[in-house]
Amino acid sequence: MRRWLCLATALLCVTALFGCAAPLTESGSSSMTDVPAPQQSGPSVFSLPYSGDDTLNPFAAATEVNLQLAGLLFDSLTVVDGTFTPRLSLASAIDAVDATHIKVTLRREALFSDGTSVQLSDVVASYRAARESRNYRALLANVTAAKADSRTGTVTFTLAKADPHAAACLSFPVYKAASATTERRKAPIGGGAYVLTQTEEELFLQRNPNRKEACVYQRIGLRHLPSSDSMYYGLASQDITYYYNDLSAGDIPRVSASSAVVDMNALLFLGVNSTKEGLSAPAVRRALSSLIDRATLVSSVYAGWAKPALTPFHPAWSGAQGLTGLSASRDLAGALELLNADGYGTGTGQKELALELIYCQDGPYRSAVAGFVRSELASAGVAVTAVPLSYADYVSRLNAGTYDLYLGEVRLTPNMDLFPLLAGGSAGYGVAPDGAAGTAYTGYREGSVTAEAFTSAFVQDMPYIPLCWRCGFAAYDRRLSTVTPHGYDPYYGFINWR
C-alpha cells in the first residue's frame, strides 16, 4: 500500500530512494497503440469501495480505501510491478547524473485526462506535495529536491544518499497542479486509466479517453464502504466486486468469494540488543537465528499468510533472485555448536543464556510469535521471558535500551531500503554502529559491494533476525479469473483484470 507504515504495530516509518540497477522498461502508458479491448469473462458490472467522507486527493486522503484508488486515477513517473521492480510510465528515461542525482526525461506525449499536456511544473509540484504528505513522506525521505529544466524537458532529483534503486521511489502520483483540491468525493485531475466522474445520482470511475490502452471495464462503480467490515459485507452482497486488506489488524476475513495471498514488503523481525553481554557476539546472534524454524512459524502462527525471510530482501523482489542466506528450517545442531563455542550451554563450565523478549501486545499475532520464539530457543537451553507491553511502554523500553530481544515489524519502501533497520535507522534499535552488515550495506548502496557479498556479510553479522514477510489479502467476485495486486498497488494491472 502507498501509506508506508511502521515498526511493530505502528511504530516507526521507513525511508527510500535512487536510479536503477537494470534498465527500466516502459509500462502501459498513453503512448501505446490502441488495441481492441480483451474479451471480458468476469462480472459485467465492476464496483469498488471508497469513502465518501474523504477526499480522493492522494496527498490528503485520510483513509486507506481512498488512497488505494490513486493508481487508477493518477499516473506516475515510474510504476512498481509485481516483482517490486520500477517500470517507466510518465518518464521516458531515467539517468544517473552522479551518485546523488538522477535525471528524469518526461514523456513528451504525456497527457492528463482533460487532454492537456503533463508539464515539468506539475511533476515538481506533485513531488513537493508528496514529500509533505504523510502518505508518501517516507517514500521520498531520501529525495531531497526536484528541479525542472524546460530546455531539456527533464527533472533532476537530488538524493541524500546514493541508492541504486531510487527509481522505485518516483512512483508517487502526478496531478495537474492547478486542479489541486482536498474536497470530499473529489480528486485533482490526473492521467491514470480512469477519471473520477460525478452525476446527480452517483460517483464512479470512467475510462480516461486520453489513454490508449484497452480496458476490460469502461466504467467502475464506487460504493461508500470505508471500513473492512463494511467491505466484507459489501462483497458478500455483491455490492462490490473486489477489496484489499493488508491484515494489519490481524484478522483474516472468512469469505465465500475467491481470495488471494498478496505479497507485501512487511518484515517481521527479532531485534537484538548487541550492547548486552552474549548478544554482542555475532556467533550468538547467528545461533538464535538458526534455532527458529521460519517455515513452521509461517504455517502455524500465520496460517500461510506470510513467507519465510531467507535473505534481508523480500523474496518476490527481482533483485533478491538467486540470493541465499538463511534457512527456512531450524538447525539445532549448528546452533548448539555456535553457542558452545562462545561458552553458552548446559554443560560443565558453560554459561546460561537467559534473555528477555519484549513485544507490543497491541500488535496482531505478537503473543503467538513471542511464544513460538520462546519455545524454539528453549530447545537449546536458552531461557526466554516474553513480556507484553503497551505501545507507549514498548517504545519507552526500546528508546532506553532496556531489553534483550524485541519483536518488530517494518514495512519497507519499494527501493528495498534497509537503512532504517541498521545502526542509526528509525528501527535500528540495538544494532552496533560498527557492524559488518551496516558497512557492507553502505557499500552496496554506493555500488562497491554486490548484493551477494552484502547478503553474506549480513548473515555473518546478523544485526537483526529476519523472521517472515507478512502478506496481504485480496477478496473478489468468483467470476474474476485474473487479478494481479501487490502490496504497493492493490489495483496493479487493473485494466487487464477479467
At residue 345, the pLDDT reads 82
Where are the alpha helices (H) located in 33-180, listed in sequence order? 64-67, 70-73, 120-132
Would you tell me the crossing angle of helices 451-461 and 282-290 to the nearest 10 degrees?
90
Pairing relationship of beta strands 354-360 and 405-411 according to DSSP bridges: parallel
At residue 24, the pLDDT reads 60
Pick from 389, 419, 422, 420: nearest CA to 406: 389
At residue 256, the pLDDT reads 83
Separation of alpha carbons 259 and 8, rounded Å: 26
Pick from 472, 412, 13, 49: nearest CA to 248: 472
Environment class of 353 (CB within 10 Å of its CB; exposed 0-12, middle 13-18, buried 19+): buried
CB atoms < 10 A from the CB of 436, how many? 17
List % helix, strand, coil for the chain (3-state, nearest 5).
Answer: 25, 25, 50
- First and final CA of the chain: distance in angstroms? 22
At residue 38, the pLDDT reads 45
Separation of alpha carbons 361 and 422, rounded Å: 24
* Regions of the chain with pLDDT less than 50: 2-23, 28-38
DSSP 8-state symbol, 386: E
